[in-house]
Structures are given as structure tokens and as C-alpha cells.
């Protein structure tokens, strides 16, 4: 046991003392939060930040003339004249696009010409504008008042609630979507990262022949187990620090946003007094948006979710890293690992791909439940299901099977590792691995 602890200590300290570990531990949460903040900003301000596109419109039908409305990114300029001459000169005249609308009686389709390929959003925006105008024209010809129709078309919002033993509570479905997907994504990525670290460490020690010296003092199983646990503790430490830093940054960001919302409210109240107590709907929107975000965050069982996440990451890592260690012991360089990598990683890839489309939309289906029970797929499948609510017996059974799977996988991997770690110059095959497994002590 002392020898295993020494190996764990060596693997752990040799990695956490590296500058790369410290830098990544600090930078990853900052980069992730910054990335999502930038994505949100671009989603809201995307039209304002994009280049303005000028569209020359030649409407020979007369149906759309002067009716297409300018947007933040598209400006329509209506011109008359010959289409062929406009086609030859619209780029020189400073237009990005030429929109040609043929006569209504013509069988020629509406065309959008440009020097460069137009973006999908530009085409969709122009198509939507034309479709709305054509629809309004048809309704007018049918004697239907478009203003009345617009008032009748109201969007109905549903407030989803969940019935629990404690009573009704907001379902927060979209929050569950986000947490489930993010948790599964982090486990998916980190199982590859830390599992590969174990495999590379084994290969390096084998190629440099250091392992021959180490094996003289410790058993192969002790060496493999110490290396797996040591690297796993590094990953666990990094995750805990990421969670602490992310929560801290989120709290600081939330405080700043709340301060800006309060400042906006105070300024709006002053303006409201000046405007003789007129209604000021824009005042409520920042507070309402912030309140919605805070309510979603407060609805999350943080300790329960983080505890489950750490468990499935740790034991998922232990299970897969044992296999990675066995693969590392069977080869002489990283190139030779490719023949073994696909069968190992296929359950992870399959489950993660399925999680994005099926499991996240059907968390209680039979397939989702089975995937959350199988040790090779449960770290991802169960983390998708947990935010939606999982029966206690299913969670307990899944955890038990994952621990059992780790013990069995480690036993199998250790039997291959004890032989493969001292094999050189021979390309391993699946048949060879089976022989190594059957060798007696």
C-alpha cells in the first residue's frame, strides 16, 4: 500500500507543480466564461456588428416596390431601368446585391445576384421580407384586414411546472438542458484528456526503459493503479478549482450585471418623474431578465449536481484510464495505439452523439435508462438525465455498476499490463492481448 501511495504522490506532484497545470487551471474558466459571454453578445448585437449590405432592387412586377423594409444589416435601394444593364454595373455602382423581381406573368424566378456567395442569413432575410409582402397582398385581395390578423396572432407562452413531494415548482427545462449538456461535454472531453495522459505516461516509461527499474521494486498492478489514481487526482483537483473559480467569476459578473440593472432602473425612475409618471416598460426588462436568470440558478440543486458530476467523472475516468494504461503497455509508440483507440472510445462517441439528439429530449426512455446503467456509457448518459430528475434507485444502481465496472476493467487491464509493459519490438494484436491475459502469474 505504501508503494502505491508513493507512486500516487509522484504522479500527482509531478503534474500539479508544472506551470502548464497552473496556467490552464486559471485560464480555462476565464476563457469559457468569456467565450459564452462573447457568443451571447454577438447573438444580441450580431446585426449591428456586421457589415451593411446594399441591395439594388429592380421590381418589374410592381408588387414589392418600396415595401421591403431596411434592417440593421440590409439596405434596399429601388431603381428603374433595364435589368441587363443593371446586371453589368451594380457592383461598380457600390451595391453588394442585385435583386431582380420579374413581371408577375413571367415564369422566371426571383434572382439575387452578387459577386461573392451570399450568406444564408442574408438570403433568409430577403426571402422572409418578400414572403411577408406577398402574403399580405394575397390577404388584401381576399378581403382580409391584415391589421386585425396581426392582432389575432398572439404568441402563447407556457409556464412549465413540476409536481414534487414539496409541491409545485418551476420545471426550468432549458436550465436542465444546459446543465446536462455541459456536464456531459466536460466528462466526454476530460475522459479523453486524462486517459490519454495515463497512456502517454506508460508509453514514455516503457520506451525509456525506466519501467524496468521501477518493476524491480513494485508490482505491475501497483504501478498501474498508482499512475491511474495519481493522474485522476490531478484531474479532480483541476475540476474543483475550475468550479470554485467559475462560481467566483459568475458571482462577480452577476453582481456587476445587477448593479447595472439597478443603475438603469434609477435613471429610468428619474426619467419617469420628468415625463409625468408615464409607463416605462423598459425599466422592468433588465430586472425581469436578471430575476429570471437568478431564479434558474437558484432552482439548481448545486451540491447534488456537482457531487454526481465528480463521482461520474472520477469513476468514468478510472474505468477508461485502466484500459488506456493497458493499451499504453502493449505498444512501443503512440502511433501504434490507433488500432485500439476506436473500440475503446466508440461507446463514448456514440453516447455523446446520441445525447445531443435523443437522450436530452427523452431522458426517461428505455434506451436512455439502459445507457445510464452500462458502465461504459453511464458517465455521459446519466449526467444528461440527472438535471431532469432521476429515481434514487436508478442512480444508486448506476453508481454501483460503474464502480463494479471499474474493478473488473482494472483487473482485466492489469493482467495485460503486467506482460505488455516488458514487451518490446513486437506489434501487439488483439490475439496477443488475449494471450497476455491468459498468462499465469
CATH for 116: 3.40.190.10
DSSP at 335: G
pLDDT of 227 over the 60 cut? yes
The verdict on 318 and 374 lying in the same domain is: yes
pLDDT of residue 277: 44
Mark whether 116 and 235 lie in a shared domain: no
Cβ–Cβ under 8 Å, residues 77 and 57: yes
- The whole-number pLDDT of residue 284 equals 42
User: Based on the domain organization, do 239 and 362 belong to the same domain?
Assistant: yes
- Biggest alpha carbon–alpha carbon distance for the chain: 94
pLDDT at 18 over 80: yes
| Domain presence at residue 1 | no
Q: Domain containing 65: what range?
A: 51-151
pLDDT at 133 over 60: yes
Q: Are residues 110 and 143 in the same domain?
A: yes
**Do 92 and 133 lie in a common domain?**
yes
Give a yes or no: residue 258 inside a domain.
no
Mean pLDDT within 210-219: 74
Name the DSSP letter for residue 356.
I
Question: pLDDT at position 278, please?
Answer: 41
Q: How far is CA 378 from the centre of its chain?
A: 18
The whole-angstrom separation of Cα 79 and Cα 77 is: 6
Q: Convert the pLDDT of each residue in 229-264 to its tens digit.
A: 888 888 888 878 887 887 777 777 666 655 655 555
Does residue 337 sit within a domain? yes
In the numeric block, which cell numbers belong to residue 275?
Answer: 415625463
Res 312: pLDDT: 92
The mean pLDDT value of the chain amounts to: 78
Q: Does one domain contain both 364 and 419?
A: yes
Average pLDDT on 284-308 reads 61
Specify whether 137 is located in the same domain as 179. Answer: no
- What whole-number distance in Å separates Cα of residue 378 and Cα of residue 383? 8
Over residues 428-437, mean pLDDT? 78
For residues 265 and 282, the model is more confident at 265
In a domain, 14, yes or no: no
User: Is the pLDDT at 338 greater than 60, yes or no?
Assistant: yes
What is the number of structural domains in the chain? 2
Residues 227 and 359 both lie in one domain = yes
Whether 261 is in a domain gets the answer no
Task: Tell me whether residue 102 is in a domain.
Answer: yes
Whether 272 is in a domain gets the answer no
pLDDT tens track for 375-420 = 999 999 999 988 888 889 999 999 999 999 988 988 888 888 877 7
Looking at residues 75-104, what average pLDDT do you find? 86
Alpha carbon of residue 203 to chain centroid: 32
Task: Write 177-183 long-range contacts (CB < 8 A, 24+).
Answer: 177/360, 177/387, 179/300, 179/305, 179/387, 180/355, 180/360, 180/363, 180/383, 180/384, 180/385, 180/386, 180/387, 180/388, 181/355, 181/356, 181/360, 181/384, 183/305, 183/309, 183/383, 183/384, 183/386, 183/387
Listed in sequence order, the residues at least 6 apart from 213 whose beta carbon sits closer than 8 Å to its beta carbon are none
Considering the domain architecture, whether residues 215 and 353 belong to the same structural domain is answered as yes
Which one of 151, 183, 201 terminates a domain? 151
Can you tell me the mean pLDDT for 338-352? 85
Q: Give me the phi and psi of 292, to 5 degrees please.
A: -65, -45
Return the pLDDT at 299.
59
Among 118, 151, 184, give the residue marking a domain's end: 151
For the segment 140-164, the average pLDDT, to the nearest whole number, is 70
184 and 325 in a single domain? The answer is yes
pLDDT at 281: 40
Q: Which pLDDT band holds residue 282 (cuts at 50, 70, 90)?
A: very low
* pLDDT score at 298: 56
Closest CA to 379 of 306, 325, 303, 310: 310
Residues 144 and 187 in one domain: no
DSSP state of 93: T
* Cell (9 digits) for 250: 459568475
Same domain, 187 and 336: yes
Half-sphere exposure at residue 151, Cβ-oriented, CA atoms within 13 angstroms: 4
Who wins on pLDDT, 217 or 287? 217
Q: 84 with 103: CB under 8 angstroms?
A: no
Report yes or no on 36 lying in a domain: no
Amino acid at each position: 500500500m505504501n508503494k502505491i501511495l508513493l507512486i500516487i504522490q509522484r504522479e500527482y506532484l509531478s503534474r500539479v507543480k508544472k506551470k502548464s497545470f497552473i496556467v490552464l487551471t486559471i485560464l480555462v474558466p476565464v476563457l469559457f466564461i468569456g467565450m459564452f459571454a462573447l457568443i451571447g453578445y454577438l447573438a444580441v448585437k450580431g446585426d449591428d456588428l456586421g457589415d451593411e449590405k446594399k441591395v439594388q432592387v429592380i421590381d418589374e412586377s410592381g408588387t414589392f416596390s418600396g415595401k421591403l423594409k431596411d434592417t440593421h444589416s440590409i439596405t434596399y435601394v429601388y431603381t428603374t431601368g433595364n435589368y441587363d444593364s443593371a446586371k453589368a454595373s451594380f457592383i461598380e455602382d457600390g451595391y453588394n446585391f442585385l435583386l431582380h423581381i420579374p413581371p408577375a406573368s413571367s415564369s422566371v424566378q426571383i434572382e439575387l445576384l452578387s459577386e461573392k456567395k451570399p450568406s444564408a442569413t442574408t438570403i433568409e432575410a430577403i426571402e422572409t421580407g418578400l414572403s411577408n409582402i406577398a402574403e399580405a397582398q394575397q390577404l388584401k385581395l381576399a378581403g382580409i384586414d391584415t391589421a386585425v390578423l396581426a392582432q389575432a396572432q398572439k404568441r402563447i407562452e407556457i409556464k412549465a411546472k413540476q409536481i414534487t413531494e414539496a409541491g409545485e415548482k418551476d420545471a426550468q427545462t432549458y436550465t436542465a438542458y444546459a446543465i446536462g449538456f455541459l456536464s456531459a461535454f466536460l466528462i466526454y472531453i476530460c475522459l479523453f484528456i486524462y486517459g490519454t495522459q495515463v497512456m502517454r505516461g506508460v508509453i514514455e516509461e516503457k520506451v525509456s526503459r525506466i519501467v524496468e527499474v521501477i518493476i524491480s521494486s513494485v508490482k505491475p498492478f501497483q504501478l498501474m493503479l498508482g499512475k491511474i489514481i495519481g493522474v485522476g487526482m490531478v484531474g479532480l483537483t483541476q475540476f474543483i478549482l475550475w468550479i470554485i473559480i467559475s462560481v467566483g467569476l459568475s458571482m462577480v459578473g452577476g453582481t456587476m450585471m445587477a448593479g447595472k440593472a439597478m443603475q438603469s432602473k434609477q435613471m429610468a425612475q428619474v426619467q419617469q418623474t420628468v415625463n409625468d409618471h408615464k409607463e416605462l416598460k423598459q425599466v422592468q426588462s433588465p430586472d425581469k431578465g436578471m430575476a429570471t436568470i437568478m431564479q434558474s440558478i437558484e432552482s439548481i440543486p448545486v451540491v447534488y449536481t456537482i457531487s454526481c458530476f465528480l463521482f461520474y467523472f472520477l469513476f468514468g475516468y478510472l474505468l477508461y484510464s485502466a484500459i488506456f494504461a493497458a493499451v499504453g503497455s502493449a505498444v512501443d509508440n503512440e502511433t501504434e495505439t490507433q488500432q485500439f483507440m476506436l473500440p475503446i472510445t466508440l461507446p463514448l462517441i456514440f453516447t455523446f452523439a446520441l445525447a445531443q439528439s435523443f437522450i436530452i429530449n427523452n431522458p426517461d426512455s428505455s434506451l436512455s435508462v439502459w445507457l445510464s446503467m452500462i458502465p461504459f456509457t453511464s458517465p455521459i448518459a446519466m449526467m444528461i438525465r440527472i438535471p431532469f430528475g432521476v429515481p434514487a434507485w436508478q442512480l444508486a444502481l448506476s453508481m454501483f455498476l460503474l464502480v463494479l465496472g471499474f474493478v473488473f476493467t482494472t483487473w482485466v487491464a492489469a493482467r495485460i499490463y503486467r506482460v505488455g509493459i516488458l514487451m518490446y519490438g513486437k506489434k501487439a494484436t488483439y490475439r496477443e492481448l488475449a494471450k497476455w491475459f491468459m498468462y499465469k502469474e
